Amino acid sequence: MIDLYLCHGNVYVWNASAACDLRERHRIVGTFVGALPRLPRQNVRLGRPLQLMPEETTLLLNKGIARLLDGNIPPKTGEDAAQAVTEHRQQSFREQAEICRNDRKRKLHEMASVIAKGRAAKRKKLAQKEKADDESSSSVSTSDVTSSTWDEHEEEEEPRLSVEEMKELEAKLEKTTGYNEQAFLVQIMTEQVSEETQETIPWNYPTTDTEALRCHVFQDLWEKGYFLTSGGKFGGDFLVYPGDPFRYHSFYIAVCRPRTENMEALDIVRLGRLGSNVKKTVLLCSESETGEINYTSLQWTGMN
């Protein structure tokens, strides 16, 4: 069940997977109206919340796909709520500390060979320095022997840290890895931490005949398998797509009119002209006497 939130007369979807679900499984597109946290200073790509048209909401509620909740309820405050947040944050810090420690350990093991090489090189240097000192003061023969065997030994195997050395380094790591709250990431909540059951609220759309006609047409077209979005940009009620709007241009501009409402022939010209300029067919939708939706396609012939 997808949760929809009614907030100041608009219906929003906040959950990301719900928004994806709506589009992929239920062919409900909606419009993203929120700023993207990482790309705030533009409005080419917007993010959640997803705002739904009233017709989309009506359809989802009628089909039992979603439920409507009150989005106006402010988050809970008070001792319990503050406690829950603090606990949640402490838990997050503990987890982060653990991850940090394990990360450093892993790095240590990765660097083991490098450390070993470094230590071996250092020892070699020291040995050579001693050798030089010895040569300048004591007999040549003994130091020659010792230093030459030492050198041979080094070149034979690759330097590795012994188990004791490793343990020593790890112990040092434990000491130096502190619990620094300043360095941890803090999650900014977009939902309440504590689970709460919410009651659904009523949805009062459609109320007028015009609205009812729009809803009926929307549902009918949706049931036929089309994707529908708002048609305001093209002077109609809906835009009708044969597939996902991301991949297709719309084919039709749906214009809803009551069956017996008169318009001038000039209005037909207006609609037709609009449609032909944008390479779409205007679809005049009206409800028949028997309650089904009739569609009349309007196209410019270009005979002029």
Partner 1 sequence: MASSEQNETRAGDLTSLLEHPKYKEMLAYGFNNQEQVHVAMLVYLYLSEAKQWEELDVQPCPALQLVTLSGRPTQADDLQVLVPLGKQTELSPQRLRDFLTHVPLPQDELELEEPDLMTKRVTLAICDTDSTVTFYRIRDGFVPPDPPEIVAEKKAKKRQWKKRKGQRTQH
Of these, 99, 209, 263, 277, which contacts partner 1 (CB under 8 A)?
A: 263
| Shortest distance (Å) from residue 23 CB to partner 1 | 23
| Shortest distance (Å) from residue 267 CB to partner 1 | 8
DSSP state of 207: -
Of these, 152, 265, 290, 291, which contacts partner 1 (CB under 8 A)?
A: 265
176 near partner 1 (CB under 8 A): no
Q: Choose the catalytic residue: 249, 252, 279, 295.
A: 249
- Candidate segments 36-44, 129-137, 139-147, 280-288, binder of partner 1 by CB under 8 A: 280-288
Task: Give the full edge-to-edge strand order of the sheet including 10-13.
Answer: 31-34, 47-52, 10-13, 2-7, 66-70
Q: What is the DSSP string of 127-192?
A: HHHHHHHHHHHS-HHHHHHHHHHHHHHHHHS-----HHHHHHHHHHHHHH----GGGS--PPPSS-
Residue 132 and residue 174 in contact, taking contact as beta carbons nearer than 8 Å? no
Using CA atoms, how far apart are residues 127 and 206, in angstroms rounded to an integer? Answer: 91
Strand partners, 32: 50
Active-site residue 125, yes or no? Answer: no
Q: Which is nearer to partner 1, 61 or 293 (CB)?
A: 293
283 near partner 1 (CB under 8 A): yes
299 near partner 1 (CB under 8 A): yes
Of these, 110, 155, 195, 261, which contacts partner 1 (CB under 8 A)?
A: 261
| Shortest distance (Å) from residue 245 CB to partner 1 | 16
233 near partner 1 (CB under 8 A): no
Q: Residue 18: exposed, middle, or buried by beta-carbon count in 10 A (0-12, 13-18, 19+)? A: middle
242 near partner 1 (CB under 8 A): yes
Using CA atoms, how far apart are residues 188 and 92, in angstroms rounded to an integer? Answer: 12
How long a stretch of residues is the chain?
A: 304
What region, left, alpha or beta, does residue 9 occupy, with left being phi > 0 and alpha being psi -120 to 50 degrees? Answer: left
Active-site residue 280, yes or no? Answer: yes
At 12 the three-state DSSP class reads strand
Residue 214 and residue 232 in contact, taking contact as beta carbons nearer than 8 Å? no
DSSP run (H or E) holding 206: none
Q: Using alpha carbons, select from 76, 15, 67, 74 the residue that is nearest to residue 200.
A: 67
292 near partner 1 (CB under 8 A): no
Of these, 264, 290, 291, 292, which contacts partner 1 (CB under 8 A)?
A: 264
- Candidate segments 13-21, 103-111, 144-152, 290-298, binder of partner 1 by CB under 8 A: 290-298
Active-site residue 88, yes or no? Answer: no
27 near partner 1 (CB under 8 A): no
Of these, 1, 163, 188, 303, which contacts partner 1 (CB under 8 A)?
A: 303
Question: Count of alpha carbons within 13 Å of 227, Cβ hemisphere only?
Answer: 20
- Candidate segments 15-23, 52-60, 106-114, 265-273, binder of partner 1 by CB under 8 A: 265-273
Q: Which is nearer to partner 1, 25 or 224 (CB)?
A: 224
175 near partner 1 (CB under 8 A): no
Q: Which is nearer to partner 1, 37 or 258 (CB)?
A: 258
Using CA atoms, how far apart are residues 254 and 103, in angstroms rounded to an integer? Answer: 58
C-beta atoms surrounding 211 within 10 Å: 15
Binding footprint of partner 1 on the chain (CB under 8 A): 242, 251-252, 257-269, 272, 279-281, 283-284, 286, 294-304
* Active site members: 241, 249, 280
